[in-house]
Each structure stands twice: as structure tokens, then as C-alpha cells.
Amino acid sequence: MIRANENYSKLKSSYLFADIAKRVNEHQKKNPEAIIIRMGIGDVTMALAPAVIKGFHEGVDEMAGDATFRGYGPEQGYAFLREKIAKNDFQDQGADISADEIFISDGAKCDTGNFQELFAQDIKVALPDPVYPAYLDTNVMAGRTGRYEDGRYSGIFYMDCLKENQFFPELPDEKVDLIYLCSPNNPTGSTMTKNELALWVSYARENRALILFDAAYESFIRDNELPRTIYEIEGAKEVAVEFRSFSKTAGFTGTRCGFTVVPKECMIFNTKGEKISLHALWNRRHSTKFNGVSYPVQKAAEAVYSKEGKVQIRQQIDYYLNNADIISKTIASLGFDYVGGKNSPYIWIDGADRDSWDFFDLLLTKAGVVCTPGAGFGRCGQNYIRISAFNSLENVTLAMERLKKALT
């Protein structure tokens, strides 16, 4: 009898976006004239930059001629892209990462989800709360948790990120083995300083733990004091993997390309405590279960690092950051506490004692604005909402005018 992986049955059904859609539809039905502004989902809205489009078309053109056609490429990605990433995103930042430590993939969601496969089933996993749901769900599917009760899975070490600790995950008071960190953070928009990251790198080195560092929103960092990669921290190469994405950097949410950095020094252990190369393990996984990213997509990603590409990409991020600034100022003027909105496209707003779904309903019904209720990201999000800056300036301006009217 073919039996199921019963860990899937532990998964809490993901009703978040379905629930949001239901409430939005009901509101629209009652108010057919209402023009609803969606600031919930973290999806880019601007077209791909001209330099990227040019690179993309050129890649397609190469596929049109027998002499320039590309069949199977290297599963790890083409050297032309890996080398540009290594230089621009790491070496130029003072982080000594080489091209063969970079694995091109179809996105950070896939990589952050798949990476846990490399580890034993009974390791202790530490996750921030609130959290990007894919980190948690993929560990549930792998059988690393017990049942879901009272908003949490047993077996997981949750790191509360609240106002009291500036939304910074504190070092655990027990031993953990695998630590998920995300900065600039989704959903809170908070950022970790070099000192904060260094604490975690020290913890990992002392406890033979591993950090999975999600830096998908790195391109939003404008504060030069903030680290742009975990490898700016001394010793991080031995204990950290970094996930990056072109999704938010260059509007690739529908184009699909990202990458993961696995330094060759990074070692994990077998039950005897002997060292195992994490780079070799991920390479085996990547070449067995993945077959490389579409060649024209890799050409499009390469164009992000061209002279024109860099200028155009920066203008796009500036545009979203200006939106974030407008949102933050409005929220502040209305008397709400918030975090994010700087070095990040997200604004995480404290509803004071309001339940996040009540707050969601208030914005929807009074202002026709859709946000994401914080409860969807974990128990610590219960009294928060997330607003995303990915939108047109016109929509953001209109939405903020409506919020001012509705909430004063």
C-alpha cells in the first residue's frame, strides 16, 4: 500500500491569502464602486529594466540559431553569471566569495525550502517569529516538528521578535543547530547591524550550529553602516549559507532567478562528529534534483550587473524606497508605532491592542486598502499588520490620503 508522508498532515492549512481574498471580495461586492488598493503581497509592480530586457532578448536570439543554441547548461549556473555575482555582490563588498561557491537557482523560495534536506531529521531548528512561512512549512514536511497547538509547532525553537527586543532575534538559552535569519526582514522590515550579526556568527561557531541567512531584500539597504552580506562578518564563511534573489533586486518575481552561496569552508558533521563539506552536499542535491536555470533568464540576470543595468535597478529600488518613506511618514503622523520602511520595502505597524485581522478589516472597509495581517507570519504578529511599498506612487499617495481620513 502506497502510504503518504504523514508529516504533511501536521501542516496548518494556509488560509492567509485565501482569507484575505475572501474578505476583499465581500467588501467589493457590497461596494461595487470602490477602487481597492492592494498593499498586501510583496510583489514588484514595475517592468523589467531596459538593460535586463535587452539581455533577455539576446539570450532568446541565441536559442534561435543552431550555432549559438544552448542545451543543458551547468546545473550550478553559467560561469558568466556566477563570476559577476561573486565580484559585484561579494568581492567588491570585501567578502571573499568565489564564483564556484555560488549556485544559481530559480529563486530563493525554492532554495530556502530545499536546503533543509541536507540535514539530519532530529536537529533543533530555531526560527524567528514572525517569519516567512516557507522556512517553517518545509521543516514540518520533513518531520522536524510535532503537532501544531496554540499557534506553534512543538519541537521548533521560536525566537520572538517584538518591540521589546527591537525585533531582533535574541541568542537562544538552549543549544540549537540550524538558525534561520532574514535581514532586511520579511515581514518586519527591520535590519540587523554588523554587531548583531556578529553575535550570531559567534554563537554558531561556539555551538557548531549553522546559519541560513536570507538576504533577498539586500538591495534595499541604503545605510552604509549595515552589512550587505553575512560574509562581511569575520568567520561567517565557516558557519553561514546566504540566499539571494533577483526577485526584489531587479523585479524577477515572474522571471525567476536567485542564488545561494555555500562557502567551501562551511562544514557540518556526521554522527561521529567528523566534518562534512556542505558545499559538496548541496552540489550533489542541486545536480541530482535540479537542472539549471533557463539560459535566457541567466542572460537577463547577467544584465543586472551591466553599467546601465546597475543604474536602472537602483532607480527602481529608489522608487519603492520613496513609497516606503511616504507610507512610514503617514503611519507616524497617525500616531502608530512601526518598524521598517528604511532599507526595506516593508512597514510593520503596531496596531496597539488591535487584533491584526480587526486592523486589516478597518483598513479595508474604511479606506479600501488591503494589507497583510501580521498573524499570518506567526504568533508574534498578532497585533501587527504589514504594508508593502511595491506599488505605483499614485496608488501609494491615494492610499495614504484615504488612511489619513479613515484613521483621524
Strand order in the sheet with 372-373: 338-340, 346-350, 384-388, 372-373
Beta strands 240-245 and 210-214 are parallel
DSSP string over 269-309: E-TT--EEEHHHHHHHHHHHH-----HHHHHHHHHTTSHHH
Amino acid at 164: E
Buried b (16+ CB within 10 A) or exposed e, 145-166: beeeeeebbeebbbbebbeeee
User: Per CB under 8 A, which of residues 105..124 are in contact with its own copies?
Assistant: 106-107, 109-110, 113-114, 117-123
152, containing H or E segment: strand 152-153
Which of 289, 404 has the CB closer to its own copies?
Answer: 289
Q: Which of 10, 19, 23, 45 binds its own copies (CB under 8 A)?
A: 45
Q: Which of 12, 27, 87, 208 binds its own copies (CB under 8 A)?
A: 208
User: Per CB under 8 A, which of residues 223..262 are in contact with its own copies?
Assistant: 251, 253-256
Amino acid at 248: K
Which of 1, 335 has the CB closer to its own copies?
Answer: 1
Which of 259, 295 has the CB closer to its own copies?
Answer: 295
Environment class of 142 (CB within 10 Å of its CB; exposed 0-12, middle 13-18, buried 19+):
middle
User: Per CB under 8 A, which of residues 66..105 are in contact with its own copies?
Assistant: 66, 68-73
Q: How many angstroms separate the CA atoms of 255 and 42, rounded?
A: 15
Minimum separation from the CB atom of position 293 to its own copies (A): 7
Minimum separation from the CB atom of position 11 to its own copies (A): 7
Minimum separation from the CB atom of position 179 to its own copies (A): 9
Q: Is 408 in the site for its own copies (CB under 8 A)?
A: no
Q: Is 199 in the site for its own copies (CB under 8 A)?
A: no
Q: Is 396 in the site for its own copies (CB under 8 A)?
A: no
Q: Which of 173, 225, 273, 335 binds its own copies (CB under 8 A)?
A: 273
Q: Is 162 in the site for its own copies (CB under 8 A)?
A: no
User: Per CB under 8 A, which of residues 140..159 are in contact with its own copies?
Assistant: 141
Collapsing DSSP states into helix, strand and coil, what is residue 258?
Answer: strand
